Structure formats: structure tokens, C-alpha cells
A and B are shown apart, each in its own frame.
Chain A
Amino acid sequence: MSDLLQSLLLALLFLCGTGILIGSSRRWMTGLLALQYVEVFLFVSISWPLEIAVVKLVAGWMASAVLFLTYQNMIEAEPESRFAANPSGTAFKGFAALLVGLSVYSLVPLALRWFLGATSQQVLGGLWLLGLGLLQLVLSRDSLRIIIGLLTVLSGFEILYATLEASVLMTGLLAILNIGFAFLGAYLLIASNLEESP
């Protein structure tokens, strides 16, 4: 993949990650998450054969679909399911994302010494997702946002780890973990509405 294409992909990845962080609509968040997995797949495919890298895309889309379908069904029961939109909060999150972006960018030369087989865009993309995911985890108490934050962190890790090792079992387990997160998120969303146990 050419440098220019990778850089474009990187910009899109940062926009997706930031969009997920500051977005207030669950539908948009899931849509951006699905798009983010396309970029993760493309970054992973630089290091891995396409047929193994596609596992990331399939697992990611399945995870996004599970989350989307869950609150799609919930919306029928509860029409208003948007997160409270707060302009100052959104601005703060956007600014924090920018700071994370800049600090991660300054770390890239150092990180490249650790990830020897990786391109600078791969490293930057992976670290950005890790940073933005962590930011999501730190700033939110909502279970859905936490699950999406964890999925983002895991995506960043997968990009970086793909440059280090290509194990079929590891790929499979990480894919199952992604889907497991989505099912857990779905369960946590509906758990309080389920029939109470003792």
C-alpha cells in the first residue's frame, strides 16, 4: 500500500476514533465503529496475508452488528436513547482527543524502534486507537461507551500486534474476544430490563 494511501487511511482512522469519542448518537457511534474496523483491516493487511487479515473485519463488523441490533430493538421500547448532548463536554472531549493525537504523534519515532517491521502509519494508527480508546474508558461511565472504548483499545493493539506476530490461534482468540465484548455490551444494555433473578 502506498504511503499516501496509508496517510489518508490514518487521517480517516483518527476522525473515526474522535467521532466515536465525541458522538452523542448510538447509531452514529456504531456506524463509525464499523468504519473503523475497515481501516483496522487495511492496516493489518499490510503485515498479514489478506485472508487472515479479513478475520479482523468480519469479527469487527459482527461486533458492530450485535451492538447495533441490540439498541435498535431497545429504541422500539424506549424511543429516546440518545446520550445527552453537551456542547462544552463535546468540546472538551475533542480537545482531549487532539492532545492524545499530538502526544502519540511525538511518541512515534520511539515506538518505531520497538515495532521494527511496521510502517510509521501503522504504529501511529495503532497508538492513536489505543489512546482514544483509553480516553473513552477514562471519560465515560456508560456501559456501552466502555465496551466501545475497549473495542477501540483492542483494535489499536491488534494493529500493533499484527506487526509482531501472525498466529492463527491468537487471531481467532482476539476475534472471539471482539465478538464477546459486543455480546457483553448487548447483555449489559438489556440486563436491567430482564426478569429479575433472586
Chain B
Amino acid sequence: MSTPLIWILLPMLAAGTSLFFLRYRYILRWSGLGFGLILVVSGLVLPINEVFKFLFWEVKLSEQLLIFGRRFILSGADRPIVILLFSLWLFWLFIMDPKLVPTQFIPLSLAGICLILTAYSVEPIFYGALFFAFLALIYVVLLSPPGKEPTPGVLRFLIFQILGMLFILFAAWLASWIDLNSGNQVMLARSLLILALGFSFLLSIFPFISWISMVSERNHPFLSGYIFNTYFLGVFLFGTRFILEGGWIGQGLDIQLPFQLAGVIMLSSGGLIAIFSKHLGRLMGAVIIAEIGRSLLAISLFQAGFPIYFGMVILQSISLGVWSISLTQLQQGIHDLDFQSAVGAARLWPVITSGLLLGYFTLAGVPLLGGFPIYWALGSGLSFYPLWINSIFVLSTLGLVYGGLRLLGVLTKNGGEESILILAAPFYRYLILGLNVLLVLIGFLPQLIFRITRTISDLLLGS
């Protein structure tokens, strides 16, 4: 028995089996919630590399699985990642409305989490790029539910991810060649350039950002939200491990500046798109692009930035979650997600639109909401770096806030319409309210989040 068997193969098997029961959506959701809870608890309590008693048997859980000479390792230090990923899945499954979200979300999203864990755990780490290609295949199916044509954004996503995989595999081979010719700076620069290109495709760094807006505009808001949340988290985890294990930092290279440059480009792109967006979906895309930029900036701070990054992940999940369910519910009342169609929606459906506004403003970094203390910490960390980085950081945040204010104006404008249509079941209205309260609470008590994220980053970096 080994940890990859329990946290990768077993859930993958469960995901595969549940594909046969898609017609029983409620049973599937409830059993998924139970299974997810078991996975999270197992991540918390299962001892690794120690003998323990399970019912009648004495079991020892090894931390690695060997397949065709390659090792898949999930050690005690990786526990936070296992718990984080399964908790995210559990959260999205909990907030999912089975009536409005395609049922295949349950098995495919679980399979996606397993593939992220596989990519994270494989050794040598560059094999992980291949698992991201499989993940892209699964997410394309998830974003193209039965009865719908695949959108151009989804196809572009697929192309970029596959190209990214090829570049990373090639760069990894070049890097291994450098070991034999150590000191060859030209080869090192070449392999770094190819690697950067590969990760730019995977992380959709400018100019490869187009698919984010396209997907957020044309695809199901809940599915898009989930994919943005988990896919980029997976790539960041994989990338961090790739850099740490590949010894790229120890080569005397300055990778901080490229990270910061890419970060500010992404953040400013997000801010600009938010200013000019006239579509609720595209606004989500703008925030996601900005979040990628902020994540890059946080990671560029290395040890000091990891707690901030994980804080952003937790916050992003809650905010995107509340935004996605609100948008999914709102779609029932308006014919499309253009600003024109959403005029006056806050007067008709105040609870649902409050979810949209709080989710957005949290990610924009408005004071008193959960995002503010985390972005403040990021800004404080960046204050030791050149002024242009800090200026773009502030201006882009203002751009995001401006986009939110326009959204507020549209939603609260008097459209002269009256509707007696009640959107969303009471559970989802209370859920949106509950998540709103949580976002405000995090704004007042950020130390709770930082305590968790410091533990996560200490465990990861300690490994």
C-alpha cells in the first residue's frame, strides 16, 4: 500500500466508475461529497512510512509507487498539497447545483485533481508535463458538455497546453544535457528560454492569454471558474516543484526579474481588460489574468511569497466559487451575460448579485474584503523592488476596481423591469450569503488564513 495508490489511483478508479452512473446526479453528488471528505481526512490523519492498525490488519503506507522505473512520490511533506487539492474539489462539489451544472463535472473534476497530483508527484518531474496534457484533454471534455459545440476558446486552450508540454519536455532534455557539459552558459540560456516558453503556454502568460477571455465568455461559468481555479493552481505547483527540484535556482541565475516582468504584464493586462469589459464572463477572465500575474509576483518573492501565494489560492477559490454559482444562477434570469442584459439585476435578485459583487471586489482587492490584506502583504513584499513594479501593481488594482464599479453601476441601474421570477433554491441563496460573510470575515481576520498558509509553505519548502 502506498500514498499514490490511495490519493491518485483509487480516486481515479472512483472517477472512472462514476462515469457509468451519470444519470443519478444526486446520488453521485452526495457520494462524491462523502468520498471527498474521506480523502481530505485521510490526508490529515494517515501515517506515512509507519505501521498502523486498520481494522484487523497491520498496514504500512509507503510514500512511493514505482511504475516502469519512474517513481511517484507523495511524502508527509506533500500532505498540505493533497489536503488542499481534495478540499478544493470538495468545496466546488458542495457549491455545485446539480440542476444547472453538467453531471460529468463530478467524475471529470476528480480525475483532473488526480492528474494534478500525478504531475506533482512524478520523478523525474519533467514527466509531469505529459500529465498536464492529459489534464487538458479531460478539461476540454468538461468544458464541452453533451449538446454543445466545442467553443474556439476551448480548442485554443488545448493547443496551447500541448505546445507547452512539448517545450517543457524538450527543455528538460536540454537541461539534462547541460549536466554533462556543466558551465555551458549558452546551452543553459537556451534551455531556460525554451522552458520559459513552455510555462508561458501552460500559464497563459501574455501573449497566450486569449483563451481565458474566450472560455470565460462562451463557456459554462461554473465549469470555467472551476477550471481556472484548479488548472492554474496545478501548473503553479508543478512549476514550483520543477524549479526547486531541477536546481534552476541554484545555477546562479536571476529568475526573479522574469517572474516579476511576466507578473506585471499579466496584472496590467487583467486591469486593462477589466476597464473595457462589457461582459460578466469576460470580467471573470480579467480577474483570472490579474490573479495569474499576482501569483507570479508572489512566487518571485520566493520564501516570503509562498504564504501569500497560498493565501491567494484559498481566497481565489472562495471568491471564484461564489462568483461562479452566482453567475450560474443569474443565467437563469437573463438571456446572456452582456452588461446590457444584466441592467438592474441587483434590484431583482439582490442576493445573487451580491455574490457577484463581493466575489469580484474581493479579487480586485477592495479594502475590508478578504483580498485586501493578502494583496497588501504582496504589495509590502514588492516594495523592496523597483518603483515601476509597484506602480503597475497599484494601477492595475485600480483598473480592476474600476471594472467592478462599472459592474456595480450596471447591476444597480434602474432597468424599469419588474420580475417575480425567483432565482436559485433557498440553499444556494443562503450559500451565497454565507460565502459573502466568509469573504468579509477573512478581511477582518486575515491572520487565520496566514497561519494556515505559513504552515503549508513551511512544510513544502522544508521538504
Chain A contacts to B: CB under 8 angstroms: 114, 137, 141, 143, 146, 149-150, 153-154, 157, 161, 164-165, 167-170, 172-174, 176-177, 180-181, 184, 187-188, 191-192, 194-198
Q: A170-B127, A174-B130 are in contact. Are A191 and B150 (CB under 8 A)?
A: yes
Q: Which residues of chain A are near B68, meaning CB under 8 Å?
A: 167-169, 172
Asked if B152 and A141 make an inter-chain contact with CB atoms under 8 angstroms apart, the answer reads yes
Q: Return the chain B residue nearest A187 by Cβ.
A: B141
Asked if A192 and B149 make an inter-chain contact with CB atoms under 8 angstroms apart, the answer reads yes
Convert B73-105 into 0s and 1s, putting 1 for each residue whose CB lies closer than 8 angstroms to a CB of A: 000000000000000000000000011111110
- Contact residue among B99, B152, B162 (Cβ-Cβ distance under 8 Å from A150): B162
Asked if B70 and A169 make an inter-chain contact with CB atoms under 8 angstroms apart, the answer reads yes
Which 4 A-B residue pairings sit nearest by Cβ, starting from the closest?
A196-B147, A194-B146, A197-B102, A169-B68
Bound-state CA distance A191–B148 (Å) is: 6
Q: A157-B166, A169-B127, A198-B101 are in contact. Are A150 and B158 (CB under 8 A)?
A: yes
Nearest-Cβ distance from residue B9 to partner chain A, whole angstroms: 15
Task: Please give the number of chain B residues whose Cβ is less than 8 angstroms from any Cβ of chain A in the complex.
Answer: 36
Q: Return the chain A residue nearest B100 by Cβ.
A: A198
Nearest-Cβ distance from residue B137 to partner chain A, whole angstroms: 5
- Contact residue among B133, B148, B162, B169 (Cβ-Cβ distance under 8 Å from A196): B148
- Contact residue among B98, B101, B130, B152 (Cβ-Cβ distance under 8 Å from A170): B130
Contact residues of A: prevailing secondary structure: helix
Q: Which residues of chain B are near A174, meaning CB under 8 Å?
A: 130
Asked if B144 and A191 make an inter-chain contact with CB atoms under 8 angstroms apart, the answer reads yes
Q: Which residues of chain A are near B104, meaning CB under 8 Å?
A: 197
Bound-state CA distance A176–B104 (Å) is: 22
- Contact residue among B147, B150, B152, B155 (Cβ-Cβ distance under 8 Å from A195): B147
A-B contacts, 24 of them at CB < 8 A, read A143-B155, A153-B162, A153-B163, A154-B162, A157-B166, A157-B169, A161-B170, A167-B69, A168-B68, A169-B69, A177-B137, A180-B137, A184-B137, A187-B141, A187-B144, A188-B140, A191-B145, A191-B149, A195-B147, A197-B102, A197-B104, A197-B145, A197-B146, A198-B98
